[in-house]
């Protein structure tokens, strides 16, 4: 499956309804972004059951600002609507494949329990 371009209008719906979604924040003038792109595209092709999206930070400046993108490329991963990973920098293909495996294996019941516990601790502090 090819990557999908996200905009301010489509971002939230894609994250909430997409199951597991990887998002590459990039720009056409960014050398590391252009070097990372073939790895990202190959990962999208190799994992057609997942959503691989791209956000052009030049075209979607408001969305990039809302997501606190300060360096590109930045890759984010969302599972069941919850952000589970964010890191700036171009990942080599083996590291990207490992990230995909780790996100696939996440126990989302445990993630939700951990989030609930963290919120409860913050509320009582």
Q: What is the average pLDDT value for the chain, to the nearest integer?
A: 94
Whole domain around residue 31: which residue ranges? 4-124
Could you confirm whether 84 is annotated as catalytic? no
Residue of 15, 30, 43, 99 with catalytic role: 30
Residue of 23, 33, 75, 90 with catalytic role: 33
Q: What is the pTM of this model?
A: 0.92
pLDDT at 17 exceeding the cut of 70 = yes
CATH number at residue 57: 3.40.30.10
Report how many domains make up the chain. Answer: 1
List, in sequence order, every residue forming a beta bridge with 14; answer none if it has no partner: none
Share of the chain above pLDDT 90, in %: 87
Q: What is the mean pLDDT of residues 20-29?
A: 97
Q: Are strands 4-5 and 20-26 parallel, antiparallel or unpaired?
A: unpaired
List, in sequence order, every residue forming a beta bridge with 78; answer none if it has no partner: 21, 83
Could you confirm whether 33 is annotated as catalytic? yes
pLDDT of residue 1: 60
């Amino acid at each position: 499956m090819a990557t999908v371009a996200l905009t301010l209008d489509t971002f939230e719906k894609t994250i909430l309804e997409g199951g597991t979604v990887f998002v590459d924040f990039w720009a056409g003038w960014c050398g590391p972004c252009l070097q990372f792109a073939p790895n990202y595209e190959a990962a999208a092709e190799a994992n057609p059951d997942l959503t691989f999206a791209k956000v052009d930070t030049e075209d979607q400046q408001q969305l990039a600002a809302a997501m606190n993108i300060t360096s590109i490329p930045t890759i984010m991963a969302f599972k069941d609507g919850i952000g589970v990973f964010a890191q700036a920098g171009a990942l080599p293909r083996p590291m990207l494949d490992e990230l995909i495996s780790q996100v696939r294996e996440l126990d989302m019941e445990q993630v939700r329990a951990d989030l609930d516990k963290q919120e409860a601790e913050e509320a009582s502090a």
